[in-house]
Chain A
């Protein structure tokens, strides 16, 4: 890091004055925790008793054989409590909240996984909880909305702007400036004002620390490449961080190609050429914006990748050439998801499936002596409506129609 909170020219803390004092306190507490080995131990202990850490590294033997190239390994973040890597960050921030003595947490969510994780943390730690979620995402991630509410959280559908993740972030900030004294904003990814990018990357780095040991144990050497999907970038930073100094390990971030980069309907910030430097949502990074600096509409089948900005840390690593960025289209994602289910009996989230797409493209270029690792950031259960719809599944449709009819008849 260069100037406080900057990675090269990216990052910073572009925050309204009302939040200045709270950020001072947050920075102080975070610095204390970072320098206290007992805090990290407490965190690992919590993650191994409340969640499923260490999560397994699965050798995908059938997929490896199918592509006939590299050995494919899958890091199973889906086996975390609540089904995604989001729990790593949330439980870490939960411990911070307890130390700071705040009584309420708020969060934005896209796919609903971060909201889910925050709602569980709030239930466990006895905190009040409000989750902001774009109206569009409420619709496409309905199962997560149901569970958040059942765990006692208030879910607020956001109807401003594009009604997706960025709008949920704006709304969460508006809540925070209003209720700053008692409330902590559990930011869900490695974006936003300093110290969030650094803090979230730190909590998520537990993924890569485990992987480094696991791959040596199973494969005897470092992997050739690591693939992770990139929305804000937290699962990617989580698995990449440990490997940044390992110059022989190629790190590949996969963004949402949506309907294809040429259509303009995508969320490819670093893999395409549509993004440019900007400052919004509290930080400086590459944004999908027009010449005036107005943020543009994004599109992805995966709510968690459907976002205009990207981690300032990743913009920095992209600029330095340390992380390569690619994009996967909605159609490619469905095919990779289908193949993974059939070959391995594993159901990746739509977000995670983006990483699978790129890994499948590159596996044949390598030899069986090479290992590649896919970060499976989450499980696909939450996507059941979207996936069933995309596969045009007849028996599912029939079930929904019948159930809808029963409900409408008051049964």
Chain B
């Protein structure tokens, strides 16, 4: 309930929330720290921090490269955990972990939940863990009060959405289109109709991600969803213009 309530409180003041994404250790934790500061100062409502994995199957080229570089730079899971603790202590917005299941599995599911709660993490997004394979994961999520954020896709049937919604907490991550992260999505009729189906299936807040890149994309989602997710775009921006460009970019989105 915690995460959902935090988002609902924020929705009192805003017609759409913003969630951003960073890859931990890319290009460095120092840059991560600065980027997060700029994001928070410019009103971001929630941040998903990706613990890098060597096989990021659901990600596109920008995030894939960031994962690889982070690992090559020597980023360890333990570093990500202590950095997370530092961020949750410094900023008053909810932070989530996004990662692939092997990182959690290898750490030990329960140990990871315990540690993440200690770090002040509010939710997990694990794109390669469907609820069918996540029985113990979902149980631990309830026990440790970390929201398991499940994913809706345009290929999900109405029935499937209801199954997912019954197991999810915090919010639902609606993938805007088929494919991987990083390719621009057009928020047209098809997406809006799909978001209508998502709305029907759950009372949880809806976040929309994959290819949301600019102010137009964000405003097109107002009234259709509760939160816009900016992923690869800020990584691109930091690559091209440095961390200093993030603040103005975020400020210009709403």
Contact = CB atoms under 8 A, between A and B. Distances in A.
Q: Bound pair: A and B?
A: yes
A170 interface: yes
A6 B153 CA distance: 25
Nearest to A162: B54
A160 B153 contact: no
A16 to B, nearest CB: 5
Given A16-B127, A18-B178, A173 B105 contact: no
A12 interface: yes
Given A16-B151, A17-B156, A160-B64, A278 B105 contact: yes
Interface stretch (B1-9, B55-63, B87-95): B55-63
A43 interface: no
A280 B55 contact: yes
A301 B129 CA distance: 34
Contacts of B157: 21
B53 A294 contact: yes
A317 interface: no
B180 A178 contact: yes
Interface stretch (A129-137, A148-156, A285-293): A285-293
Nearest to A21: B155
A161 interface: yes
B102 interface: yes
B132 interface: yes
B130 A14 contact: yes
A19 B130 CA distance: 10
B180 A17 contact: no
Contact of A294 (B54, B128, B150): B54
B132 A13 contact: yes
Contacts of A19: 155
> Which of A18, A166, A284 has most chain B Cβ within 10 Å?
A18
B181 to A, nearest CB: 10
Q: Report the contact-size class of chain A (Cβ under 8 Å from the partner).
A: 35 or more
A322 B135 CA distance: 30
Contacts of A281: 55, 57
Contacts of B105: 277-279, 284, 293
Contacts of B71: 294
A161 B57 CA distance: 12
Interface string B143-176: 0000000111111110010001000000000010
Contacts of A21: 155-157, 160
Contact of A18 (B76, B132, B155, B164): B155
Contacts of B178: 18, 177-181
Contacts of A364: none
Contacts of A98: none
A96 interface: no
B152 A17 contact: yes
B83 interface: no
A16 B68 contact: no
A174 B60 contact: yes
B58 A177 contact: yes
Counting chain B CB atoms within 10 Å of each CB, the highest count among A12, A277, A294 belongs to A294
A293 B53 contact: yes
A20 B157 CA distance: 10
- The range of chain B's interface size is 35 or more
Given A18-B155, A279-B101, A170 B133 contact: no
A386 B180 CA distance: 36
B55 A16 contact: no
A15 B130 contact: yes
Contact of A22 (B102, B150, B155, B175): B155
A15 B155 contact: no
Interface in A1-47: 4, 12-22
Nearest to B105: A279
A282 interface: yes
Given A15-B130, A17-B153, A180-B155, A174 B106 contact: no
A334 interface: no
A276 B106 CA distance: 9
Contacts of B133: 12-14
Interface in A165-187: 166, 170, 173-174, 177-181
Contacts of B175: 17-18
Contacts of A279: 101-102, 105, 128
Chain B CB count within 10 A is highest, among A180, A181, A279, for A279
Contact of A17 (B57, B60, B65, B130): B130
Interface string A88-128: 00000000000000000000000000000000000000000
B121 to A, nearest CB: 18
A185 B157 CA distance: 21
Contacts of B156: 17, 20-21
Contacts of B127: 16-17
B106 A292 contact: yes
Counting from the closest, the 10 A-B pairs by CB-CB distance are: A293-B106, A178-B179, A18-B153, A293-B102, A294-B54, A17-B151, A295-B54, A17-B153, A292-B77, A21-B155
8 contacts: A4-B132, A17-B156, A18-B153, A20-B153, A179-B178, A279-B101, A293-B77, A294-B71
Given A174-B57, A174-B180, 14 more contacts: A15-B128, A16-B127, A16-B153, A17-B153, A18-B155, A20-B153, A21-B157, A161-B54, A174-B58, A178-B180, A278-B105, A278-B106, A279-B102, A279-B128
